[in-house]
């Protein structure tokens, strides 16, 4: 069965510093990959997604992620974070041809002034 691992439960980082949030998934079959963000007391919203094609995916708010099939990873990066990026970030995967989604346990990003 498919699974998603987010290795860091919390990541503190200073404002304007770069950040990487890590995500690994278990299956090497054809998958769709997503990153969602959840701001306090809100639902989730899509940051970016990988379906096929270029392995570097750009999303909203300056975030990007790189799909690495050999390492089954989909790490999220931002070169310079802002206080407003403080939120919880979820990686999710869906196997091609299915309607099931598997989410990771989330990474809390805290941006410090």
**Which residues bind to another protein, rule: CB under 8 A?**
6, 9, 32, 34, 36, 42-46, 49, 51, 90, 92, 94-106
Least distance to another protein, CB of residue 89, Å: 11
Of residues 52 and 70, the one with the C-beta less far from another protein: 52
DSSP string, 34-90: EEEEE-TTS-EEEEEEE-SS-SEEE-GGG-EEEEETTTTEEEEEESS--GGG-EEEE
* Nearest distance in Å: CB 10, another protein: 11
Cα distances from 68 to residues 10, 82, 83, 87, in angstroms, run 23, 27, 29, 25
Separation of alpha carbons 65 and 78, rounded Å: 9
CB of 80 vs another protein, minimal distance in Å: 26
Q: Output 13 or 32, the one with its CB closest to another protein.
A: 32
Nearer to another protein, 46 or 56 (CB): 46
């Amino acid at each position: 069965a498919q699974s998603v691992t987010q290795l860091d439960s919390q990541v503190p980082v200073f404002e304007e510093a770069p950040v990487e949030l890590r995500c690994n998934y278990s299956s090497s079959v054809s998958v769709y990959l997503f990153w969602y963000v959840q701001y306090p007391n809100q639902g989730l919203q899509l940051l970016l997604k990988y379906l096929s094609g270029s392995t570097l995916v750009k999303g909203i708010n300056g975030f990007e992620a790189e799909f690495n099939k050999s390492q089954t990873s989909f790490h999220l990066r931002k070169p310079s974070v802002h206080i407003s990026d403080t939120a919880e970030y979820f990686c999710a995967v869906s196997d091609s041809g299915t309607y099931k989604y598997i989410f990771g346990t989330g990474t809390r990003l805290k941006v410090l002034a």
